[in-house]
Chains A and B, each alone.
Chain A
């Protein structure tokens, strides 16, 4: 029996990078690749792009059930790697099995090198401010969640498709599920982003940032408290380690002091402008252009000046 890589996600759309990562391992180490996810159109797009086997779960299932399905699949094979996306759900499911098998697991991996007896992984740590370079012996089972678009790699393969119908029972009970409010915008893809922070005293004041945004074609994002605690803007616009990482040409941080959690999500921006009234705010250490001013006084002037230029 040849050795196997299992690629899994509870959301088929999130399989692209894990499949690409697994394709590298598959080619270098001559392994068989099994992909497991929920039945959907985006799952079927993976056919003939790397997986030797695609197993689709036909029912809506929750964490405990994914865990049991995945356990059965990986025990039934000579599994060497289990790879998934870095989503909350996928990380949780893989960590359960890694814990049970007392195996190593590395989350949010963005780089891979394969050596003769070991593999080298890189992941961001310390609030996104440092890279951890990990060298692990290439033996036993290894669990990895991946995050980088660097792994968008397709292979030509013949994929055999089948269905998983035996659904185990969950130990905890799901009573209700609701979609979070979505803004319908993916700020991780935006070219200009304005970030609003606690410097804004109330929700209505964000209009100032919105006016600036409409003048320069920006999308609005925010720090953790503004989205997660105050809920002034939808959570899918939250920038940071637990929120979204952005990579715009221009990031304009307004009234954001620059907690490590936030900085971790903005470092790939080309140019960063920071506006805060505290000259010692950490955000200024991560900015190209720094303005120490009260946003309530400065923004109206900036908006006026941009309007003047537009009409002149």
Chain B
């Protein structure tokens, strides 16, 4: 059975390149973006299912980190990266009013656009985003779409109009059978996301990248009177590199340090 699949992708803050102001607050506007780690697994799973069963995979993303003008090129590069992995179309929502939104707003907007785009069999998200890690998107989306939901999936199989998935929580592995349409969130263990080849990248240049603002979607979102600030935790580590003429000497020095700190007893 050919599958119509939608993958939800977040352009998240690149945690290896967090910019911090002298007062300790994170400068989100200066921090570069990257595809959120587990969303890559979601994309990969969508493509694998399409390769196996036929059909189509679209990606949808909503930009939440501004400023809008300066992010344009960056978000386009991310969209092309997703397309070059094997996704067929990229749908992107760019609007000043959506910046700094939480999953409350983004799930609402995504559900609205997905309903307009057609009937999907499967909606795939990452288990949580690497930056804000709220872990709510899949659950909210399923309720707003009125479809089935299985979270924290690390294996998917399709049989007729159903999926059989393995769900992994802290202490348990569940095998769950769900009829389509269904939303799933996937863990980092479900697959190894592919790295596109040069040929893939060139081919992706002509794939559709469709941009929307809220006006085009006929949507208005209530701007909440909510404020969010981000402060880095000060790292107060000694960062002492222990050196010596050989490993014996380094080992001796380490043992002495740990005894002085009172954290080991020998």
Contacts and interface: CB of A to CB of B under 8 A. Distances in A.
Contacts of A88: 135, 151-152, 169-170
A180 B131 contact: no
A216 interface: yes
Interface stretch (B48-56, B83-91, B201-209, B223-231): B223-231
A53 interface: no
A287 B239 contact: yes
A99 B143 contact: yes
Given A96-B143, A133-B231, A174 B174 contact: yes
B56 to A, nearest CB: 24
Interface string A93-107: 101111110111111
Interface in B81-107: 102-104, 107
A93 B150 CA distance: 11
A195 to B, nearest CB: 15
Given A98-B104, A290-B242, A137 B224 contact: yes
B237 A130 contact: no
Interface stretch (A33-41, A43-51, A158-166, A301-309): A301-309
The range of chain A's interface size is 35 or more
B257 interface: yes
Interface string A160-181: 0000000000011111111110
Contacts, number: 242
Contact of B237 (A229, A250, A288): A288
Interface in A253-312: 260-261, 267, 270-273, 282, 284-293, 297-298, 301-302, 304-306, 309-310
Given A95-B139, A291-B254, A133 B229 contact: yes
Contact of B241 (A98, A100, A105, A290): A290
Interface stretch (A23-31, A121-129, A149-157, A201-209): A121-129
Contacts of A249: 262-263
Interface stretch (B2-10, B13-21, B68-76): B13-21
B64 interface: no
A103 B107 CA distance: 11
B117 interface: no
A107 B136 contact: yes
Contacts of B135: 88, 91-92, 95, 107
A176 B228 contact: no
Nearest to A145: B135
Given A95-B136, A99-B136, A135 B227 contact: yes
A111 B206 CA distance: 49
Interface string A185-216: 00000001000000000000000000000001
13 contacts: A88-B135, A98-B104, A99-B104, A126-B26, A126-B230, A130-B231, A131-B231, A177-B174, A178-B173, A260-B16, A261-B37, A272-B237, A286-B235
Given A95-B140, A180-B173, 9 more contacts: A88-B135, A96-B149, A104-B226, A124-B233, A130-B18, A130-B232, A174-B175, A177-B173, A302-B254
